[in-house]
Amino acid sequence: MVRIIPMASTIGPSLSSFKFASASASASPRLFSFSLSSSSCTIPSRRLSLLHLGSAVPQSHFFGLRAAKLLRREGNDMGVAAAGNAAQASTTATQENVLEWVKKDKRRMLHVVYRVGDLDRTIKFYTECLGMKLLRKRDIPEERYTNAFLGYGPEDSHFVIELTYNYGVDKYDIGTGFGHFGIAVEDVAKTVELVKAKGGKVTREPGPVKGGSTVIAFVEDPDGYKFELLERGPTPEPLCQVMLRVGDLDRSINFYEKAFGLELLRKRDNPEYKYTIAMMGYGPEDKNVVLELTYNYGVTEYDKGNAYAQIAIGTDDVYKTAEAIKLSGGKITREPGPLPGINTKITACLDPDGWKTVFVDNVDFIKELE
């Protein structure tokens, strides 16, 4: 049985890792949680103070004063109501503006982050069997973790993998919520033979997908992460899918469209196997990485384990992004703003199923890479 150990957050001192966790003295750093504290704003009610009138004031004067005050109060109430309606209309307009802005924001999926038990072993498998390149590697001994970035092209133009190794931790629980990564290859059968020759595990032999003609296969890396190999011609984005399971597909689609600006590229129901999938992305499926959301009939919750961490997405404005996420029902786990020390602006959130995403300022991201 795998023992689940609380791990350091993969968000790191530099942009690519987005690590907010601080290592404890023990061998396994603890995950710090960032809670969003909400404060309520109370508007004090306006009340007319009754003027204390002595018996020296004639009764007719008293009635006149009261009538005048009643008229003033009625006028004030009407003014407050009008102001309230104007404020509500302004708020609605602002919300519409923010959600409309999301569609125009220059967004791109930057990288996916997850934890592995042996960094060198995983790098060897990805480079020799899956054809990836080691883009960079860095060690942070004071916080007891190491990162490695791998992919099929530069980080400023390609979706890449960020691996995190926490000192002394060799096993993680992948859970039941995470599905697989997708890689487009020109020859699935040839890639599978290479994986077998290197001692890799093949869980689905090459062949047409059920109900279609696309040739696929499934393999596992040394930590048990599944990779779907899809036979496809040359593509600018070989690392092409991240599949996550969700408990309410329509709810997730609505959230990702509004808060993330993702487009629903296609949706397919498979009643024979009791599941439905939705492909969402920032461009055509054959040229961009997509988020594959899977709903299994009747399953509303999944165990997320402690292995998979998050996806990072670039944005032109982390502040507006956070606002849109809140308006769409998402939970902000890291308020928008610059990271201490490097001034890279980010914000982090959870979707309705608890899957984490980090948004990072596009300009700051390029500066970090430079």
Taking the C-alpha atoms of residue 65 and residue 53, their distance in angstroms, rounded to an integer, is 10
Question: Which of 276, 266, 253 is CA-nearest to residue 329?
Answer: 253
Taking the C-alpha atoms of residue 351 and residue 345, their distance in angstroms, rounded to an integer, is 20
Taking the C-alpha atoms of residue 174 and residue 303, their distance in angstroms, rounded to an integer, is 9
Please name the residue that has the structure tokens 């670039």.
Answer: 314
Given the residues 100, 142, 193, 228, select the one marked as catalytic. Answer: 228
DSSP 8-state code for residue 339? P
Helix (H, G, I), strand (E, B) or coil at 178: strand
Considering only the C-alpha atoms of the chain, give the largest distance between any 2 of them, rounded to a whole number of Å.
108
Q: Is 162 annotated as a binding residue?
A: yes
Virtual torsion, Cα 238, 244, 250, 255, nearest 10 deg:
-80
- Report the 10 Å Cβ neighbour count for 86: 10
Beta strands in the chain (DSSP E): 108-115, 133-140, 145-151, 160-166, 178-185, 201-208, 215-220, 226-231, 239-245, 263-270, 275-281, 290-296, 308-315, 331-338, 345-350, 356-361
Alpha helices in the chain (DSSP H): 59-104, 119-128, 188-197, 249-255, 318-327, 362-369
193 is catalytic: no
Distance (Å) of CA 302 to CA 98, 298, 319: 31, 12, 30
Taking the C-alpha atoms of residue 15 and residue 333, their distance in angstroms, rounded to an integer, is 17
Q: Is 228 annotated as a binding residue?
A: yes
- Report the 10 Å Cβ neighbour count for 154: 11
Q: Indicate which residues carry an active-site annotation.
A: 228
Instruction: Write out the binding residues.
Output: 162, 180, 228
Q: Which residues are known binding-site members for Zn(2+)?
A: 162, 180, 228
